[in-house]
Structure 1
Amino acid sequence: MNATNPYFDDVLSTHVLIREWLGGEATAAGHCTDLLARFSPAFTMISPGGKQLDAAGLATFFQAAGGSRPGLQMHIADLMLIQENAAGATVSYREFQSLPGAENTQRLSTVVYEKTPHGKLLWRHLHETWVVLAA
Structure 2
Amino acid sequence: MNPYIREVIDVHVAIENWLGKGEGDVEALLARFAPSFSMVTTGGAKLDFAMLSAFFRGQGAAKPGLKIVVEEITIVEDWLTGAVVSYSERQSLPGQEATLRYSTVVFADGKWKLLHETMAV
TM-score by length of 1: 0.87
Any idea what the Cα deviations from partners look like across 1:28-87, whole Å, max 9, x if unmatched?
6xx100100000000000000001000000000000111100000110000011111123
Residue 129 of structure 1: which of 113, 118, 121 is its match? 118
Give matches, 1:12-91, under 5 Å.
12-26=9-23, 31-91=25-85
Give aligned pairs, total: 121
CA distance in 2: counterparts of 1:72 and 1:128, whole angstroms: 18
Cα RMSD of the aligned pairs, angstroms, is 0.9
Deviating above 2 A after TM superposition, structure 1's stretches of 4 or more consecutive aligned residues are: none
CA distance in 2: counterparts of 1:25 and 1:82, whole angstroms: 33
TM-score by length of 2: 0.97
CA distance in 1: counterparts of 2:79 and 2:3, whole angstroms: 13
- Is 1:9 aligned to residue 3 of structure 2? no
Whichever residue aligns with residue 42 of structure 2, its letter is P
CA distance in 2: counterparts of 1:52 and 1:103, whole angstroms: 25
Question: Counterpart of 1:80 in 2: which secondary structure?
Answer: strand
Whichever residue aligns with residue 118 of structure 2, its letter is T
Residue pair 2:22, 2:60 contacting (<8 A) in 1 also: no
Runs of 5+ unmatched residues, structure 1: 116-120
Q: What percentage of residue pairs aligned between the two structures are identical?
A: 45
CA distance in 2: counterparts of 1:32 and 1:99, whole angstroms: 21
CA distance in 1: counterparts of 2:118 and 2:46, whole angstroms: 13
Whichever residue aligns with residue 43 of structure 2, its letter is G
